[in-house]
Structure formats: C-alpha cells, structure tokens
Chains A and B, each alone.
Chain A
C-alpha cells in the first residue's frame, strides 16, 4: 500500500469536534489492551480463540462480525459481565481482568436498553451515580446536565413505559454517559430501530463521541453502520480477529476472503496463473498494479467502467448484461463473461445505461485490483 493511501485512510472522514466543545473532549479517555483472550462456553463452543487487540484512547472502535463471531462476548468481557478463561485485559493502564463489573469505570448501552421499568426516567439516569454514593443534589445536577447534552428535553420527567424505541435508546445512552466512564460499550444499540431513525441516531452518536472524546467500543453486525461510525474496525469470525483497520482499509483492502465477503464484496476470483503483474482468472487475463501476492482477485463493482459495444484494449473485458437493477443514483449490473459473472456498479449521470442482453466492454483499472488470501 502506498504512503499517501495509508495517510488518507487513517484520516477519519466523520465529524470533527467543534471548537467551543473542545473542553469536553480530552476530559477522560482510556486505551484498552487485550492479550490472548480465550473464552469457551460449555465443552465445544469457542467464543474467543485468543484475541489480541489494542484500542486507542478516544477512539470510536467497532467490533464487526456475523452472529456467533465472538464480538458480544468480547464486549461482555470488557464490561466484566463475562470472565475470560485465559488472557489479560488492561483498561487505562490497569489490569482489570478479574475486577467485577461494578468496580470498573466502564459503562454499557445494552441491546435491549435494559432500562428499569419500576423507576422513572430520572431515577434510571441517576442509578449509576446513586450506586456510586453521590448525594442527591449532585445527582440531579448531573442528570440535568446530561439531559441537556443529549437533548432529552422533557423526557426526563416521563415514565419508562411511555417512551418510544428511539427515546429509550437515548435514555440508555444518557444513563451510561452520565457516569462519565473511561470507556463506553455499545452492544448493537441501534439494531431495534427502523432505518430512518437508525441513521439519524448514528450521526447523533458519532457527534456525542467526538464531542466527549470518550473511548467508544461499538458492536454491530452491519458493515455499513461500522463504516459510517468507526475510526477503526475489527472484523471478527469464529472467535478470531480477521482484520483491524480504518473503514477504508477494511473495505478497500480486505486481508482475506471472509472480510471481503463480509464487507459486501462478491467479485472474488481465484488466480490460476500469474506472470509478474499479469493475473489469469476465469475472467481472462488482467494486468494489476501493486495488487499484493494473494491468490484471490478482488474487483470492486464501483471501480468498473462500462463501454457500449465491443472495444478492444488491455484490461478490456467483453460481457453481456444479465441483469440490471436501477437504483436511481446508480445502477447495479450482473455481467456475464463466459460462464463467470461479474458485478458492476455505475453512477447514473443521465447517460446511456446498458439494457439486459446488451453487449458491453468492462474497463478494469490496474491500480484498482487487489489480491487477498482465501
């Protein structure tokens, strides 16, 4: 990978802290170091199979993977709700591997929100402060402060059963944040919400994190959500970390087929022969540039150009349109090249979009080709 690309990838495209809120940032943030974490349930279920992971202070870090990959177990170990069979966990320079949850300066936003139905919203928000022994007056002041920060408005005076899903989500977030933990853990906090509210709360959550500068560890199975939110992502599968990197790195340069498929890539082709930069796959021969030494070729659909008719040239492939999905802003094509299919995404600039059955030429840029291992 080139120097410039690395720099570009490391630069998070999300939301920067606003100047007058910088005092809130840098208030408190802890790094996390995990070493050799193992966790087994029963005799046969391996949840974590030796996880080594460093999370930086103030980072929005996402654990991404399919269900059963170990991401929730890892989060629960961070919270102290689960004890690892082996390995160490260091938060903010302190070894907390065997510290019980109520003695960790770590708070969690639970997937089910886990608000206390027998308490008012205000008492829910004050719960952690009360358990810490803060006097009532200070508790109230802090609750009012967080309510204003999260813009809860008059929700504070409501009862829990009067809240909608989105409101519950925000109360759960506020209840954890008001304790000013070193690390905030979020267990698929948006999964129960409908799409519109979900993307709205994604932005809100990201803003809160940037403004507070707090370390967030976020669990999700949704790669789009992970890419929008995260400074860095760890992709997990079968209790192992597959790749750690910034969203662009994980999406554009997946290390293996699992990561590539999980990030939504379908155009993966085994390389049958290789001569320097000339790669042979079932698509034909292609010239690649700086593609790495993997045995699997990845072609991202959005890097492809389609020309009408047959056009000769290097890295030009002749294909037939098998399927076209018109999406308004863009169109997705399933192209047939011999017996092999290739997905292509083309931005809709109002020009000709090839029809089903039409013959087209696919132009592949050498620098967009990436190889990875199986």
Chain B
C-alpha cells in the first residue's frame, strides 16, 4: 500500500527532473538549428517552387519551372549543360576523395610511427596550410599551374597538355586543388584511427601466420575503416559543393554544381533556379551520408561510425 503510494510519485518526480534537464540542454541547440538551418532551408524550398521574375527575383505563381530548367529544359529545348555540371561534380568528388585517401593514408600511418614528441608538430604541418585563406591558396595554385610556369612547361614537354595551354585552367587543376585543400580532413581522422591501434596486434597477426601484406589487410586496415569513412564524409561532402576552387582553377569547362548555384544568385540572376540547385545538392548529400552510414555499419562491425 505504502509502496504503491510512494513509487509513482518518486518516478514522476524523476521524470520531471529529467524533462527539465533535457529542455535546458537541448533548447539552445535546437533554437540555433531552427533559426539558421530549418528556416533558410524552408525559405529556399519555397523559392525553388516559385517563378523567376524580371530581375531574377522569385515571384508567384508556384511552378516546377526551375526544376525543369535544372534538368536542362530551356527556351531552346533540352541542353545537357546542367547534367554535365552535375556529373562533373560527382566525378570530381569521387576522384579527388579517392586521391585524398591514397595520399593521406601513408601520411597518417607515417606520423603514428614517429616519436611521440614529433607527432603534434607533424600534424600541425598537415593542418597549418588550411589556416590560410582558401582563396589565397587557390590563387597560389593558379600561379603554379598557369601557362609558362615550370610545371606547365614540364607537362607540355611530356606531351601531357597541348603547347601553350598550361595546366590551368582545367579539370585536372580542380582535382589537384581539391586534393590539396581537403588532405587535412582525411589525415586527422585516419591518424586518430592509427593511433588507437595497438602495434602488438600487427605482431600478433604475423605471429599467427599472416604475411606482412595480409597482416595489414586483416589486422590493420579494418581497424582504420571508421577513420577512413569519417574522412571520406569530411572530404566528399564539402568537395561536392565546392565553389572557390572550380571557380578559380576550372575555367568555363570546369564548372561544378556550387558554381551553377552561385551564378544563379549573382550573375545570371535566377533565384528559383539557384534554390532548386541548392536543394538538389542537399538531397545528394543526404543520399551520400545515408550510403556511408550503411556502409559504416556493415564494414565497421559493431563500431558505430560517427558522422
């Protein structure tokens, strides 16, 4: 009797406390996200379904015009330009992310093999370039790759590019810029994964009849997967929406989705089309995240990959 009288009130008091606690901790973040993410996205969504007005500003009535334009249907019939831009964005993302993995993996491993006192310095060396403004660094690459520079001269003499064309502007220059720009975002999570690894496990694998190659494949690589997947997400998503690098290094034929969107809000002045492009980017990103999450759950065994 006394038990049944006491228990619910004690439980409900705990619940009230918990709810209040939750309210205090979650509210500021939720407020932030609502003001700066949900509202603008909703606004963008609304704009995307409106009609383009005289000065590129959205106006009523609601329509699917901008999505049709995005898919390539214009006044002069269908043109593949936008589709190419989308495919180029995907391709650049894929290639540059893959290259970043190839370059970052040995770097991250190498740093973990160094003495402990050198490691922070080496990591710093990886990160420091990203403290400089991205535009300035990209201008740097322009100067390195422009026609007439030693690098371009070398590429020309090897027959890799046509005479006097230079390495910039080109899709190659964009890939290079992306790899350079996003390298730290892959090195850091990979370093974290390598650092957690007990070197005795590599020895244990070799002790258990694994050749050095198989020891890497069966004992080391699977344990770096969480770091690798986190790095891929950190690199691929911003690379997909990148604006500055293709703008400066890509020239007319190096345009990516980010440039398409930016142009609609600035030069070309078609806000609804720009908004539609932004929504497409958002959807593609969500899809990519979903795939990575599924992949992470399958490959990472039990370990949840935090994205």
- Which A residues contact B (CB, under 8 angstroms)? 79-81, 100-103, 106-108, 110-112, 114-119, 127-128, 131-132, 159, 161, 175-176, 179
Per-residue CB contact flags for chain B residues 254-279 toward chain A (1 = under 8 Å, else 0) read 00000000000000000000000000
Are A131 and B210 CB-contacts (below 8 A) given A118-B222, A118-B223, A118-B301? yes
Name the one of A106, A110, A132 contacting B203, with C-beta atoms under 8 angstroms: A110
Name the one of B206, B209, B214, B301 contacting A81, with C-beta atoms under 8 angstroms: B206
A81 shortest CB reach to chain B, Å: 5
- Report A-chain residues with C-beta under 8 Å of the C-beta of B207: 79-81, 101-102, 106-108, 176
B217 shortest CB reach to chain A, Å: 11
Which one of A81, A118, A179 has the greatest number of beta carbons of chain B within 10 Å?
A: A118
* Complex Cα gap A276–B208 (Å): 58
Are A108 and B204 CB-contacts (below 8 A) given A118-B223, A131-B214? yes
How many B residues are at the interface, by size bracket? 20 to 34
Secondary structure class of chain B's binding surface, majority of residues: helix
Name the one of B200, B208, B211 contacting A127, with C-beta atoms under 8 angstroms: B208
Which one of B201, B208, B218 has the greatest number of beta carbons of chain A within 10 Å?
A: B208
B219 interface contact, C-beta 8 A: yes
* Complex Cα gap A118–B222 (Å): 7
The answer to whether B206 touches A114, judged by C-beta atoms less than 8 angstroms apart, is no
21 interchain pairs, CB-CB under 8 A: A100-B206, A101-B207, A102-B210, A102-B211, A102-B214, A106-B207, A107-B208, A108-B203, A110-B203, A116-B201, A116-B205, A116-B219, A116-B223, A118-B223, A118-B303, A119-B301, A127-B208, A127-B210, A128-B209, A131-B209, A176-B208
- Report A-chain residues with C-beta under 8 Å of the C-beta of B302: 159, 161
- Report A-chain residues with C-beta under 8 Å of the C-beta of B116: none
- Report A-chain residues with C-beta under 8 Å of the C-beta of B219: 116
The answer to whether B209 touches A132, judged by C-beta atoms less than 8 angstroms apart, is yes
Q: Which residue of B lies closest to A110 (CB)?
A: B200
**Known A102-B206, A114-B201; further 9 A-B contacts with Cβ < 8 A:** A81-B207, A102-B208, A108-B207, A110-B204, A117-B223, A127-B210, A128-B208, A131-B205, A131-B210
- Which B residues contact A (CB, under 8 angstroms)? 198, 200-201, 203-212, 214-215, 218-219, 222-223, 225, 300-303
Q: Which residue of A lies closest to B201 (CB)?
A: A114
* Complex Cα gap A119–B222 (Å): 9
* Complex Cα gap A103–B212 (Å): 11
* Complex Cα gap A81–B206 (Å): 8
B216 shortest CB reach to chain A, Å: 12
* Complex Cα gap A80–B208 (Å): 12
- Report A-chain residues with C-beta under 8 Å of the C-beta of B206: 80-81, 100-102
Q: Which residue of A lies closest to B209 (CB)?
A: A131
- Report B-chain residues with C-beta under 8 Å of the C-beta of A128: 208-209
Q: Which residue of B lies closest to A106 (CB)?
A: B207
Q: Which residue of A lies closest to B222 (CB)?
A: A118
Are A114 and B198 CB-contacts (below 8 A) given A79-B207, A108-B207, A175-B208? yes
- Report B-chain residues with C-beta under 8 Å of the C-beta of A112: 198, 200
- Report A-chain residues with C-beta under 8 Å of the C-beta of B205: 116, 127, 131
